[in-house]
């Protein structure tokens, strides 16, 4: 067949295919393939070494420096990234104008753990937080070493485990220099279980001291405040708490004993609570561990399926979020204290997105049929699928959800990971972002506003920033 006839024939087939698609596009199951995949507008290679060593002589994935990093969006919309590095000089990278063709990055070395510290190290922890006024960044470099009982056979002769330690460093973002740095071993004897920048002036640290002397299944904690930026000590207190999630009713404290313990803790920690501005030790513990308020009663009831395991869905500080994912996951609290939750819909396979106000009043509920679980263009047959709201931008009604499918069940091999980008006030969303599906979740993601537009920013392995524009509304 002559070339021009062949091309005409192929063009005719193509046009017929498009016309047929247009005619049947009223059927969601047929047109699901038409979901828009957002592609990165910019890819920014951060000025950090691609090989930063490993904290394990066996080069296990979990202890590679490339697996441990943190990212934050500062109030001035610059992006801050903290990477671990076995040289001991951990790069803190600030990237400005990341939404343009000419981004500008600068690097400041902050103290961290080096290869000489890696012997018998069990875990490495990385976190980066920013004071609400945007004046200071606080870098946390944590390390935990094996206890004698952690060795498979026996510990080396004469082995003495190092105490868990975290290096806390305050950086002045205006002057781009280190102001102060301290090791937590000089602050308390226990293991740091949680850390949170709670105001422009204070950081709160929660140390686990082990079993409480009061009774079994109680644990003793010392809670300390240190001042920003000097890291001078402030108020502190000791409290005894039940482990979360709570033990079975047969082992838990009775109602009267639990209330007595709460009053005792709140009295002991009165100075700390007043300084932070929260009403109880229970509320403070949630703030430290999750970075959010206690959900209103209506939100807790709607999420009652998570009641006993909810804490498992929040990362231990310094680790990746979203390791544990099921069909229903904890709701997200926005900066204006609205709550966004995804719950199983009566329409099998889909989610209902429900939005609650700060007091728990339901403001919106609608079934999401595209871009998340239940969308046949994204969900694979024979897979368990789960999604979770991970960020919102309320000024422009943008919502970001992380979704994952796993083979068979929620403990199976990861098959696909993606981000769903939605408008929370008008659910036909702009599209989805494909993520690399690997051994573990290796990407952090945020919504950021700049130059009057909304973007999704992802960070892979602490090295590659990708910027996706959220299409403006017509």
Report pLDDT for 150: 84
In the chain, what is the straight-line distance between the N-terminal and C-terminal CA atoms, in Å? 46
Query: The tokens of 80 are what?
Result: 């801050």
Residue 33 has pLDDT above 50, yes or no: no
Residue 60 has pLDDT above 80, yes or no: no
Report pLDDT for 432: 96
Beta bridge partners of 23: none
Residue 138 has pLDDT above 90, yes or no: yes
User: For the sheet containing 332-333, what is the strand order?
Assistant: 332-333, 339-344, 351-356, 362-368
Report pLDDT for 370: 92
d(CA 114, CA 88): 4
Cβ(206)–Cβ(188) below 8 Å: no
Range in 3-12, 95-104, 142-151 with the lowest mean pLDDT: 3-12
Query: The tokens of 123 are what?
Result: 């875990």
d(CA 206, CA 316): 12
DSSP H or E segment with residue 31 = helix 28-31
**Which residue matches tokens 């929660």?**
206
Residues in the chain: 474
Portion of the chain with pLDDT greater than 90, in percent:
61
Report pLDDT for 161: 86
d(CA 410, CA 417): 13
Would you call the peptide bond into 229 cis, given omega within 30 degrees of 0 as the criterion?
yes
Mean pLDDT computed over 98-119: 96
d(CA 471, CA 296): 33
**Which residue matches tokens 């209902």?**
352
Q: How many CA atoms lie within 13 A of 440 on its CB side?
A: 16
Query: The tokens of 164 are what?
Result: 């868990």
pLDDT tens-digit map of 150-187: 888 888 888 888 999 999 999 999 999 999 999 999 99
Read out DSSP for 179-193? EEEEEGGGT-SSEEE
CA-derived radius of gyration, the chain:
25
pLDDT tens-digit map of 335-389: 999 999 999 999 988 999 999 999 999 999 999 999 999 999 998 788 899 999 9
Which residues contact residue 242 at a Cβ distance below 8 angstroms, ignoring those fewer than 6 apart?
217, 218, 219, 252, 253, 258
Tell me what the pLDDT averaged over the chain comes to: 86
d(CA 287, CA 197): 10
Report pLDDT for 348: 87
Residue 31 has pLDDT above 50, yes or no: no
| H helix count then E strand count, the chain | 6, 24
pLDDT tens-digit map of 226-263: 999 999 999 999 999 987 656 667 777 888 988 999 99
Burial tier of 126 (Cβ tally within 10 Å: 0-12, 13-18, 19+): buried
Mean pLDDT computed over 78-94: 97
Give the confidence band of 57 by pLDDT, cuts at 50, 70, 90.
confident
d(CA 60, CA 69): 16
Sign of torsion, CA 245 249 250 254? Answer: positive
Give the confidence band of 148 by pLDDT, cuts at 50, 70, 90.
confident
β-pair type (87-96, 104-114)? antiparallel
Give the confidence band of 441 by pLDDT, cuts at 50, 70, 90.
low
Q: What is the dihedral of CA 435, 437, 439, 440, to 10 degrees?
A: 30
**Which residue matches tokens 């395991």?**
309
Residue 436 has pLDDT above 50, yes or no: yes
Residue 69 has pLDDT above 60, yes or no: yes
Range in 192-206, 269-283, 291-305, 381-395 with the lowest mean pLDDT: 291-305
Which residues contact residue 95 at a Cβ distance below 8 angstroms, ignoring those fewer than 6 apart?
44, 46, 78, 79, 81, 103, 104, 105, 465
The model's pTM is: 0.88
DSSP 374: T
Phi/psi-derived region of residue 210, left when phi > 0, alpha when psi is between -120 and 50, beta in every other case = left
């Amino acid at each position: 067949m002559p070339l021009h006839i062949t091309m005409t024939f192929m063009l005719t087939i193509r046009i017929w295919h498009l016309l047929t698609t247009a005619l049947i596009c009223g059927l969601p199951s047929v047109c699901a393939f038409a979901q828009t995949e957002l592609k990165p507008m910019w890819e920014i290679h951060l000025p950090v070494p691609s090989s930063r060593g490993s904290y394990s002589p066996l080069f296990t994935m979990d202890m590679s420096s490339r697996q441990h990093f943190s990212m934050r969006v500062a109030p001035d919309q610059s992006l801050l990234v903290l990477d671990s590095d076995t040289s001991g000089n951990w790069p803190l990278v600030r990237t400005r104008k990341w939404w343009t063709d000419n981004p500008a990055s600068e690097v400041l070395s902050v103290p961290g753990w080096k290869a000489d510290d890696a012997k018998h190290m069990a875990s490495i922890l990385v976190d980066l937080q920013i004071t609400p006024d945007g004046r200071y960044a606080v870098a946390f470099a944590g390390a935990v070493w094996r206890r004698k009982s952690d060795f498979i056979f026996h510990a080396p002769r004469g082995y003495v485990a190092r105490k868990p330690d975290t290096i806390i460093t305050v950086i002045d973002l205006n002057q781009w220099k280190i102001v102060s740095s301290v090791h937590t071993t000089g602050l308390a004897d226990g293991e740091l279980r949680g850390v949170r920048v709670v105001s422009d002036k204070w950081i709160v640290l929660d140390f686990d001291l082990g079993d409480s002397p009061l009774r079994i299944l109680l644990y003793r904690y010392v809670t300390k405040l240190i001042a920003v930026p000097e890291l001078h000590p402030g108020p502190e207190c000791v409290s005894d708490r039940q482990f979360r999630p709570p033990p079975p009713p047969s082992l838990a404290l009775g109602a009267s004993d639990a209330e007595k313990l709460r009053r005792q803790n709140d009295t002991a920690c009165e100075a700390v609570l007043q300084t932070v501005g929260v009403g109880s030790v229970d509320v403070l513990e949630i703030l430290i561990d999750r970075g959010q308020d206690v959900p209103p009663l209506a939100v807790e009831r709607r999420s009652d399926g998570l009641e006993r395991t909810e804490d498992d869905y929040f990362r231990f500080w310094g680790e990746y979020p979203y390791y544990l994912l099921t069909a229903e996951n904890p709701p997200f609290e926005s900066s204006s204290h609205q709550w966004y939750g995804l719950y199983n819909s009566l329409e099998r396979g889909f989610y209902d997105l429900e939005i609650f106000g700060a007091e728990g009043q339901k403001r919106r509920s609608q079934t999401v049929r595209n871009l998340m679980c239940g969308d046949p263009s994204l969900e694979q047959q024979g897979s368990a699928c789960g999604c979770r709201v991970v960020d919102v931008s309320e000024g422009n009604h943008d919502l970001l959800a992380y979704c994952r499918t796993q083979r068979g069940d929620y403990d199976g091999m990861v098959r696909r990971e993606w981000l769903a980008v939605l408008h929370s006030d008008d659910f036909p969303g702009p599209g989805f972002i494909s993520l690399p599906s690997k051994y573990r979740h290796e990407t952090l993601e945020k919504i950021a506003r700049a130059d009057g537009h909304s973007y999704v920013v992802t960070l892979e392995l602490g090295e590659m920033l990708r910027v996706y524009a959220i299409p403006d509304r017509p």
